[in-house]
Amino acid sequence: MPEPITIVRTKDSRLTEDLRENSPFGTNYSDHMFVVDYCDGQWRDARIVPFGPMELSPATTALHYGQSFFEGFKAHRTADGRVALFRPMANHARLNRTAARLAMPELPESLFRDGLVELIRTDRDWVPRRDGGSLYVRPVYFGTDDSLMVRPASRYRFVIFTSPGGPYFAQPIRLLAEETYVRAFPGGTGDAKTAGNYGGGLLAAKLAQAKGYANVLWLDGKERRFLEESGVMNVMVIINGVAITPPLSGTILPGVTRDSALTLLRESGAKVEERPVSIDEVLSAQSAGTLHEAFGIGTAAIIAPIACIGYRGKDYEIPTGSTTGFAQQLKSQLTAIQYARVPDTHNWLLYV
């Protein structure tokens, strides 16, 4: 029998209309967080408590040996005023795949769902009302042993907290195709959502930003030839009317938004290919005028049009802004489902 979740409400809510409606992505947090600890082979002490700092030993496993990862998805205020989460159980499934990759214990589905639903109910007034607004949900899971031994921790903490905001990128992005650094390598952790994958990408992103790009276009680790991801998102290109995205071959993240986009494209009868696509193919198509669009696909940004790819000292401009293009159509379709403006025929929404 799982123990009930205890709830300690804040006496001092920080909620204001301005914070809820105008916070940029990932800068402010709602009043509460869900916390549960793993110890002696069991998950214990599931609780909702006021959002705030946590005390950790300087020897905490996650800080030294990287047993740490996160997830991300969103809650939306639907057209009829209710609150719905978009595909959270797909994130739970990926969470347990990442946990297995980092030798961390499985998090039971019911614990995840019950904690999540209780948290969103507790902070439901934080879900933005404005068009395009959402409450971004950030689960984070990490090893908490107080030990310098290099081994999987015996104690863990799982936390969910939330952050009101708008889309991650407002403008089309410029990316620099990256040939020095790689994000992932076969047999590595590229298909898991480990904290280390993001840490390892920061220098390349910083160097690209110093040259005026928003982030890098990651190429494969072996040949630096095939597209992998666009910054922290999956990537899709439209060549000659065909939607092409790299396959889930072990080095790219199986994005939930990527999967949703592929489902919608296939249902609409679009030509879709999950296959390796090289930078040469993309740039040749750009020169021939057959690269119609390129975009990132991720939870935070949903669809982020790519306006330019920099490669070996040259910038290749890509059309953006077509209202009938794939990017715009996908974004409209996905948001229509998320805000329940159309029937949820895929059963993707979890109402709280």
Binding site for ligand COI (CB under 6 A): 72, 232-233, 298-301
**Token pair for 213:** 């790009």
In the complex with ligand COI, which residue's Cβ is closer, 105 or 231? Answer: 231
In the bound state, the residue with its beta carbon closest to ligand COI is 298
**Token pair for 80:** 């009829």
CB of 260 to ligand COI, least distance (A): 12
In the complex with ligand COI, which residue's Cβ is closer, 60 or 163? Answer: 163
CB of 171 to ligand COI, least distance (A): 16
CB of 344 to ligand COI, least distance (A): 21
Do the beta carbons of residue 296 and residue 320 sit within 8 Å?
A: no
CB of 223 to ligand COI, least distance (A): 26
User: DSSP per residue over 232-299, as a string?
Assistant: TBEEEEEETTEEEE---SSSS---HHHHHHHHHHHHTT-EEEES--BHHHHHHHHHHT-EEEEEEEET
CB of 269 to ligand COI, least distance (A): 27
Distance CA 119, CA 98 (A): 23
CB of 285 to ligand COI, least distance (A): 26
Q: Which residues of 123-139 are buried (b: 16+ CB within 10 A; e: fewer)?
A: beebbbeeeebbbbbbb
In the complex with ligand COI, which residue's Cβ is closer, 23 or 286? Answer: 23
In the complex with ligand COI, which residue's Cβ is closer, 126 or 136? Answer: 136
In the complex with ligand COI, which residue's Cβ is closer, 118 or 228? Answer: 228
User: DSSP per residue over 190-243, as a string?
Assistant: TTS-BHHHHHTTHHHHHHHHHTT-SEEEEE-TTTS-BEEEETTBEEEEEETTEE
The closest alpha carbon to 285, from 258, 309, 313, belongs to 309
In the complex with ligand COI, which residue's Cβ is closer, 158 or 311? Answer: 158
Distance CA 308, CA 319 (A): 8
CB of 37 to ligand COI, least distance (A): 25
In the complex with ligand COI, which residue's Cβ is closer, 85 or 232? Answer: 232
Do the beta carbons of residue 161 and residue 192 sit within 8 Å?
A: no
**Position of tokens 């916390």?**
35
